[in-house]
Structure 1
Amino acid sequence: MTKPVLVTIPHSLGREEAIRRLKSGLGSASASLPVLKIDEETWTDNRLAFRFTALGQTAEGTADVEDDSVRIEVLLPWFLQKVAEVVQSTIKSRAQILLEKK
Protein backbone atom coordinates (compact mmCIF):
# COMPACT_ATOMS: atom_id res chain seq x y z
CA MET A 1 0.00 0.00 0.00
CA THR A 2 1.27 3.45 -0.86
CA LYS A 3 1.97 6.04 1.77
CA PRO A 4 -0.10 9.24 1.40
CA VAL A 5 1.57 12.56 0.68
CA LEU A 6 0.76 14.97 3.52
CA VAL A 7 1.08 18.73 3.36
CA THR A 8 0.08 21.17 6.10
CA ILE A 9 -0.05 24.86 5.25
CA PRO A 10 -0.48 27.38 8.06
CA HIS A 11 -2.51 30.53 7.39
CA SER A 12 -4.01 33.46 9.28
CA LEU A 13 -7.15 33.95 7.20
CA GLY A 14 -9.73 32.11 9.25
CA ARG A 15 -11.60 29.08 7.97
CA GLU A 16 -14.25 30.81 5.84
CA GLU A 17 -11.80 33.04 3.94
CA ALA A 18 -9.41 30.15 3.36
CA ILE A 19 -12.25 28.05 1.94
CA ARG A 20 -13.36 30.92 -0.28
CA ARG A 21 -9.86 31.38 -1.68
CA LEU A 22 -9.36 27.67 -2.27
CA LYS A 23 -12.72 27.37 -4.03
CA SER A 24 -12.01 30.31 -6.31
CA GLY A 25 -8.37 29.43 -6.95
CA LEU A 26 -8.42 25.72 -7.75
CA GLY A 27 -9.34 26.21 -11.39
CA SER A 28 -6.60 28.75 -12.01
CA ALA A 29 -4.07 26.60 -10.15
CA SER A 30 -4.68 23.65 -12.44
CA ALA A 31 -4.71 25.92 -15.50
CA SER A 32 -1.20 27.10 -14.65
CA LEU A 33 0.08 23.49 -14.50
CA PRO A 34 -0.52 21.91 -17.91
CA VAL A 35 0.37 18.40 -16.70
CA LEU A 36 -2.33 18.50 -14.00
CA LYS A 37 -6.09 18.45 -14.50
CA ILE A 38 -8.57 18.53 -11.63
CA ASP A 39 -11.27 16.03 -12.59
CA GLU A 40 -13.53 16.35 -9.56
CA GLU A 41 -13.87 18.52 -6.47
CA THR A 42 -16.56 18.08 -3.82
CA TRP A 43 -16.90 20.32 -0.78
CA THR A 44 -18.58 19.09 2.41
CA ASP A 45 -18.41 21.75 5.11
CA ASN A 46 -14.68 22.47 5.51
CA ARG A 47 -13.47 19.34 3.66
CA LEU A 48 -12.60 19.15 0.00
CA ALA A 49 -12.45 15.74 -1.66
CA PHE A 50 -10.74 15.87 -5.04
CA ARG A 51 -9.49 13.72 -7.89
CA PHE A 52 -6.93 14.80 -10.45
CA THR A 53 -4.97 13.47 -13.39
CA ALA A 54 -1.25 14.13 -13.78
CA LEU A 55 1.05 12.59 -16.36
CA GLY A 56 -1.73 10.22 -17.39
CA GLN A 57 -2.22 8.93 -13.83
CA THR A 58 -5.25 9.52 -11.59
CA ALA A 59 -4.85 10.42 -7.92
CA GLU A 60 -7.23 11.49 -5.19
CA GLY A 61 -7.10 13.27 -1.90
CA THR A 62 -8.69 15.51 0.67
CA ALA A 63 -8.06 18.97 2.06
CA ASP A 64 -9.28 19.85 5.55
CA VAL A 65 -9.51 23.59 6.15
CA GLU A 66 -9.17 24.75 9.74
CA ASP A 67 -9.06 28.24 11.26
CA ASP A 68 -5.27 28.42 11.03
CA SER A 69 -4.15 25.70 8.62
CA VAL A 70 -5.02 23.50 5.67
CA ARG A 71 -4.10 19.81 5.80
CA ILE A 72 -3.88 18.13 2.40
CA GLU A 73 -3.59 14.36 2.01
CA VAL A 74 -3.07 12.83 -1.44
CA LEU A 75 -2.96 9.14 -2.40
CA LEU A 76 -0.75 8.73 -5.43
CA PRO A 77 -0.61 5.76 -7.80
CA TRP A 78 2.71 3.92 -7.89
CA PHE A 79 3.99 5.86 -10.92
CA LEU A 80 3.45 9.23 -9.25
CA GLN A 81 4.95 7.93 -6.00
CA LYS A 82 8.29 8.14 -7.78
CA VAL A 83 7.87 11.91 -8.02
CA ALA A 84 6.11 12.36 -4.66
CA GLU A 85 8.54 15.03 -3.44
CA VAL A 86 7.89 17.14 -6.53
CA VAL A 87 4.13 16.66 -6.13
CA GLN A 88 4.35 17.59 -2.45
CA SER A 89 6.33 20.79 -3.06
CA THR A 90 4.05 21.78 -5.94
CA ILE A 91 0.91 21.31 -3.82
CA LYS A 92 2.45 23.29 -0.98
CA SER A 93 3.63 26.20 -3.12
CA ARG A 94 0.32 26.51 -5.02
CA ALA A 95 -1.75 26.36 -1.83
CA GLN A 96 0.49 28.92 -0.12
CA ILE A 97 -0.05 31.33 -3.01
CA LEU A 98 -3.83 30.98 -2.62
CA LEU A 99 -3.64 31.43 1.15
CA GLU A 100 -1.27 34.40 1.31
CA LYS A 101 -2.71 37.28 3.31
CA LYS A 102 -3.47 40.14 0.94
Structure 2
Amino acid sequence: MAEKMSCDFEIKGQVPKDAFEMFAVAQAKTLGLRGYITQISEDTYKGVLQGEGKVIEAFQKLITTAGEYVAAIKEFVIKNMKAIQEYTYKNFEVQLKK
Protein backbone atom coordinates (compact mmCIF):
# COMPACT_ATOMS: atom_id res chain seq x y z
CA MET A 1 0.00 0.00 0.00
CA ALA A 2 1.24 3.48 -0.85
CA GLU A 3 2.59 5.69 1.89
CA LYS A 4 0.35 8.41 3.32
CA MET A 5 1.80 11.86 2.77
CA SER A 6 0.96 15.32 4.05
CA CYS A 7 2.06 18.69 2.68
CA ASP A 8 1.29 22.37 2.77
CA PHE A 9 0.47 24.08 -0.49
CA GLU A 10 0.13 27.61 -1.81
CA ILE A 11 -1.54 28.75 -5.01
CA LYS A 12 -1.05 32.26 -6.36
CA GLY A 13 -3.19 33.74 -9.10
CA GLN A 14 -6.24 35.82 -9.94
CA VAL A 15 -8.99 33.19 -9.92
CA PRO A 16 -12.73 33.59 -9.31
CA LYS A 17 -12.99 32.66 -5.62
CA ASP A 18 -16.18 30.61 -5.37
CA ALA A 19 -15.79 28.78 -8.67
CA PHE A 20 -12.14 27.99 -7.97
CA GLU A 21 -12.80 26.73 -4.45
CA MET A 22 -15.60 24.46 -5.69
CA PHE A 23 -13.33 23.18 -8.48
CA ALA A 24 -10.43 22.48 -6.08
CA VAL A 25 -12.71 20.63 -3.62
CA ALA A 26 -14.30 18.57 -6.42
CA GLN A 27 -10.87 17.56 -7.80
CA ALA A 28 -9.49 16.69 -4.35
CA LYS A 29 -12.55 14.58 -3.50
CA THR A 30 -12.41 12.79 -6.86
CA LEU A 31 -8.76 11.91 -6.19
CA GLY A 32 -9.47 10.89 -2.59
CA LEU A 33 -7.36 13.62 -1.02
CA ARG A 34 -7.97 15.09 2.42
CA GLY A 35 -7.18 18.49 3.87
CA TYR A 36 -8.39 21.99 3.15
CA ILE A 37 -7.98 25.13 1.07
CA THR A 38 -8.43 28.68 2.34
CA GLN A 39 -8.08 32.06 0.69
CA ILE A 40 -5.57 34.19 2.60
CA SER A 41 -5.48 37.19 0.27
CA GLU A 42 -7.07 38.30 -2.98
CA ASP A 43 -4.61 36.31 -5.07
CA THR A 44 -3.33 33.62 -2.68
CA TYR A 45 -4.74 30.35 -1.38
CA LYS A 46 -3.10 28.08 1.18
CA GLY A 47 -3.98 24.71 2.54
CA VAL A 48 -3.01 21.17 3.44
CA LEU A 49 -3.15 18.07 1.26
CA GLN A 50 -3.07 14.54 2.62
CA GLY A 51 -2.94 11.44 0.46
CA GLU A 52 -0.54 9.35 -1.61
CA GLY A 53 2.38 11.31 -3.04
CA LYS A 54 1.47 10.57 -6.65
CA VAL A 55 -2.13 11.65 -5.98
CA ILE A 56 -0.94 14.97 -4.51
CA GLU A 57 1.13 15.46 -7.68
CA ALA A 58 -1.92 14.62 -9.81
CA PHE A 59 -3.95 17.28 -7.95
CA GLN A 60 -1.21 19.87 -8.55
CA LYS A 61 -1.19 19.01 -12.25
CA LEU A 62 -5.00 19.11 -12.53
CA ILE A 63 -5.21 22.54 -10.92
CA THR A 64 -2.37 24.10 -12.93
CA THR A 65 -3.54 22.71 -16.28
CA ALA A 66 -7.31 23.25 -15.92
CA GLY A 67 -8.45 25.18 -18.98
CA GLU A 68 -10.40 27.84 -17.15
CA TYR A 69 -7.59 28.56 -14.65
CA VAL A 70 -4.37 27.82 -16.54
CA ALA A 71 -3.81 31.47 -17.49
CA ALA A 72 -4.82 32.80 -14.06
CA ILE A 73 -2.64 30.62 -11.83
CA LYS A 74 0.87 32.00 -11.45
CA GLU A 75 2.30 29.30 -9.20
CA PHE A 76 1.40 26.21 -7.19
CA VAL A 77 4.00 25.46 -4.52
CA ILE A 78 4.09 22.31 -2.41
CA LYS A 79 6.12 22.51 0.81
CA ASN A 80 6.89 20.40 3.87
CA MET A 81 6.04 17.07 2.23
CA LYS A 82 6.31 14.34 4.85
CA ALA A 83 5.12 10.82 5.53
CA ILE A 84 2.35 10.46 8.10
CA GLN A 85 0.96 7.49 10.01
CA GLU A 86 -2.68 8.56 10.02
CA TYR A 87 -4.79 11.15 8.26
CA THR A 88 -5.81 14.12 10.40
CA TYR A 89 -8.61 15.25 8.06
CA LYS A 90 -11.75 13.27 7.19
CA ASN A 91 -12.20 14.90 3.76
CA PHE A 92 -11.22 17.96 1.73
CA GLU A 93 -13.03 21.24 2.32
CA VAL A 94 -12.90 25.00 2.08
CA GLN A 95 -11.94 26.66 5.34
CA LEU A 96 -12.92 30.25 5.93
CA LYS A 97 -10.12 32.68 6.64
CA LYS A 98 -9.64 33.12 10.37
Per the normalisation by structure 1, the TM-score is 0.42
Per the normalisation by structure 2, the TM-score is 0.44
